[in-house]
Structure 1
Amino acid sequence: MAIRVVSGRGHQWLLTERIGSGSEGIVYAVDDPRALVAKLVPDPPDREAYRRRVERLVRQRREPRTVRLLSGSPTRLAWPMVPVRTVLGGGTDSIDGYVMRDMRLAYQPFTHLVSPAARRAFLPGATWATALAAAEALARLLAELHAGGYVVGDLKPDNLWVDTQGRVGLADVDSWQFTDGREVFPGRMRTPGYTAPERIGPVGAPPDSSSDDFVLAVLIHQLLMSGLHPFTGHPADGGDYLSLDDNLLQGRCRAVDRTSVVLPRSAPPADLLPRRLASLFGDAFGGTRPHAWLWAEELAVARAAERLTVCAVQKLHVYTIERPWCPWCDQAERGMDSYPGADSARGAP
């Protein structure tokens, strides 16, 4: 059944196909030549607070801090453009939401680059250099958001987008934590596996830039380690694997202690990273968290052309010059090639 939504000024849009859904909202395509989508939130915890949240975000589109974030092409943020409501009929209440740009016009889901299987299907030309570029773009975007006074709070692959050049976009802006005048709009959401340790549990701490920085490191690790979550692994002490968050809280992480977890032989080699990035991961998960700007700067250094080399056997195998031979060929010998090509050859050069 088609749904019609209306803005406060009376403009109407027809919503067509259902594109996806999350923990709070449902996203629909919009019948409009401008490539728009609409997010509807059927049951927010506080309806009036949610309406104010969206209205303030729409108003902030005109503020200098947000104008800078929205500049450039393609746009990096699916920012709310106008609040909308709908009445489904039959005496039901209206559902609140907003209209935004359709990120599918310029991007693919972030998981298409993180997941080896999806990467082979949808981004077959992607290399480790693409992953480095996406990691830097994500770090820079997060640093700019923090500088503008925004905290993402629920940073996760499902909210992220990427293109063939490694440029990154971000959606679900309505869940962010921000201030407008004296009013604080708190971050509401968190996702298992993508939550800083201090926020895990029934009474977790509110999000801040530091908790965002922790999850940024998780996402960068997945990008550079071909989808491997840093807290993946069976406990090396023989205990039961319970969850990513349990491993996190117990300090089980190969980037911090290689003896703490057992991983499949097909996992990317632990030593494929440049030494400086490996050190940053150790800090992020076991000590002082590097800020997003520091990640961006170090990733820019790591992905410079003179810091990368191409495998003599497989042209999609790109790796750091700090490593004397190809880590992806090493991985392929163990049964999993993260960056195979049509002419893929097995074995290290």
Structure 2
Amino acid sequence: MALTVVSGSGHTWQLTERIGSGSEGVVYAVDDARPLVAKLVPDPLDPAAYRRRIARLVRQRREPRAVRLLSGTPTRVAWPLAGVRAGGPGGGGVDGYVMTDMRHAHQPFTHLLTPQSRQALLPHATWATALAAALSLAQLLADLHAEGYVVGDLKPDNLWVDAHGRVGIADVDSWQFTDGNEVFPGRMGSPGHTAPERIGAPAGTAPDRASDEFVLAVLVHELLMCGLHPFAGHPASGDYLSYDDNVLHGRCRLLDRAAVVLPRSAPPLDLLPRRLATLFRAAFGGVRPAASTWVEALAAEADPARLRTCRRNPLHVHTAERPWCPWCDLAERGADGYPAPDPRPRSSGGATPGAKDTKDVTGMKGNTAWQR
């Protein structure tokens, strides 16, 4: 049975199929001429505070700082358009909001992180596309920080990407921001995409720009290293517990090659341009570069003069610093990061050669966009 939601002004929308769900909310498609979805949050910790948060975000959409973020095409931010309640405006309902449907112009960000999904869903994507996505993400975060917003729960599941590498973001209701003298704190965090100072911190510990900048570096690494998390790998001594455990103990191949053991299918370190490798080491072991610093460095590396295309496979694009194609090397090990499009019809259960090794390294769980 279709759900009906109503805004404070009395406008109603019909919700159709359920798209996804997460720890806090459920996302539904909206029956509307515009590309819209609705997120409902059945059990917020403080319902009144949540309604106030959404109302302030809806109002800020008309303010210059949000207008700047929402300018351009395609839309970069799934901003709340109206607060809604399922069950009517008076008591007993479920609160939420209506926002732009990012599926209209984007795909889930996770589609760019694994060879299997790229081959099937982004067949023309190359390492240059990954660079473009990294640059777009860094620019988006730099713009958000410049306007006073902190994402807090920056992770692949909240991100979107198109075939050109342009990145968008959803779940604005979890951000940290101010409105007048009131602070609306962020509190969410996700395993594998949380800065070390927030791992295991007391509930409600607020994020800041530095915590966003740590996770930005993680995401840029995942984009450029074929989905490989920078803290992936089995500890050289002891048992593997989680990415977060490796983060807390500084087990990162970029910081110490002997700290972790990775399979031969892992992309080599020299796939990264030296300038970016230096930024990663700073982000994970020193002073974290600001998002704007990443923008400058990624823009320089995305210059066509800094890129080379393999003669054997046009999808094998790599930095000009690399004297030969790293993707061909990986293909010989059965783990081609950018395989040519498969001309065969897709089957429901077939596996891509090398898929097992890649999944073991990256730890990706597949498409969970619109979930939180």
Shift of 1:116: 2.0
* Cα deviation 1:238-260 (Å, max 9, x = unaligned): x1000000000011001211111
Instruction: Specify the alignment match of 2:120 in structure 1.
Output: 121
Q: 1:127 to 1:8 in 2, by over 3 A?
A: same
Instruction: Specify the alignment match of 1:209 in structure 2.
Output: 209
Distance 2:79 2:160 in 1: 14
Shift of 1:236: 1.1
Distance 2:211 2:201 in 1: 17
Instruction: Specify the alignment match of 1:319 in structure 2.
Output: 318
Shift of 1:202: 4.2
Instruction: Specify the alignment match of 2:47 in structure 1.
Output: 47
Instruction: Specify the alignment match of 2:95 in structure 1.
Output: 96
Check conservation: 2:120, 2:341, Cα contact below 8 A. Answer: no
Shift of 1:235: 0.4
Instruction: Specify the alignment match of 2:367 in structure 1.
Output: none
Check conservation: 2:37, 2:99, Cα contact below 8 A. Answer: yes
Check conservation: 1:272, 1:320, Cα contact below 8 A. Answer: yes
- Count of equivalent residues: 342
Q: 1:50 to 1:305 in 2, by over 3 A?
A: same
Q: 1:163 to 1:333 in 2, by over 3 A?
A: same
Distance 2:25 2:188 in 1: 12
Residues 1:260 and 2:287 aligned together: no
Gaps of 5+ in 2: 344-372
Instruction: Specify the alignment match of 2:301 in structure 1.
Output: 302
* Cα deviation 1:72-127 (Å, max 9, x = unaligned): 01110000000000118xx9820000000100000000000012221111001100
Check conservation: 1:213, 1:292, Cα contact below 8 A. Answer: yes
Check conservation: 1:314, 1:343, Cα contact below 8 A. Answer: no
Distance 2:145 2:114 in 1: 27
Shift of 1:279: 0.6
Distance 1:145 1:22 in 2: 24
Instruction: Specify the alignment match of 1:157 in structure 2.
Output: 156
Shift of 1:22: 1.5
Q: Aligned AA for 1:232?
A: A
Shift of 1:206: 1.7
Distance 2:259 2:92 in 1: 52
Identity of aligned residues (%): 71
Instruction: Specify the alignment match of 1:66 in structure 2.
Output: 66
Shift of 1:152: 0.1
Distance 1:290 1:279 in 2: 10
3-state SS, counterpart of residue 100 of structure 1: strand
Counterparts of 1:212-251 in structure 2 under 5 Å?
212-237=212-237, 239-251=238-250
- Flag the structure with more relative contact order, 1 or 2, with Cα contacts below 8 A and sequence separation at least 6: 2
Q: Aligned AA for 2:6?
A: V
3-state SS, counterpart of residue 281 of structure 1: helix
Instruction: Specify the alignment match of 2:80 in structure 1.
Output: 80
Gaps of 5+ in 1: 345-349
Distance 2:145 2:22 in 1: 24
Residues 1:30 and 2:30 aligned together: yes
Which consecutive aligned stretches of 4+ in structure 1 deviate over 2 angstroms post-superposition? none
3-state SS, counterpart of residue 5 of structure 1: strand
3-state SS, counterpart of residue 51 of structure 2: helix
3-state SS, counterpart of residue 232 of structure 1: coil
Distance 1:208 1:320 in 2: 33
Residues 1:190 and 2:189 aligned together: yes
Distance 1:44 1:253 in 2: 36
Distance 2:99 2:259 in 1: 44
Distance 2:111 2:128 in 1: 15
Distance 1:97 1:105 in 2: 21
Distance 1:153 1:54 in 2: 17
Check conservation: 2:119, 2:342, Cα contact below 8 A. Answer: no
* Cα deviation 1:257-315 (Å, max 9, x = unaligned): 11110011111111101100011101110111000000011000001000000011111
Distance 1:44 1:119 in 2: 36
Check conservation: 1:114, 1:222, Cα contact below 8 A. Answer: yes
* Cα deviation 1:181-204 (Å, max 9, x = unaligned): 010000021001000000010427
3-state SS, counterpart of residue 187 of structure 1: coil
Instruction: Specify the alignment match of 1:130 in structure 2.
Output: 129
Check conservation: 1:269, 1:330, Cα contact below 8 A. Answer: no
Distance 2:14 2:287 in 1: 49
Q: Aligned AA for 2:2?
A: A
Q: Aligned AA for 1:150?
A: Y
Instruction: Specify the alignment match of 1:290 in structure 2.
Output: 289
3-state SS, counterpart of residue 49 of structure 2: helix
Q: Aligned AA for 1:247?
A: N
Distance 1:7 1:206 in 2: 30
Distance 1:343 1:312 in 2: 19
Distance 1:244 1:104 in 2: 29
Q: Aligned AA for 1:208?
A: D
3-state SS, counterpart of residue 289 of structure 1: coil
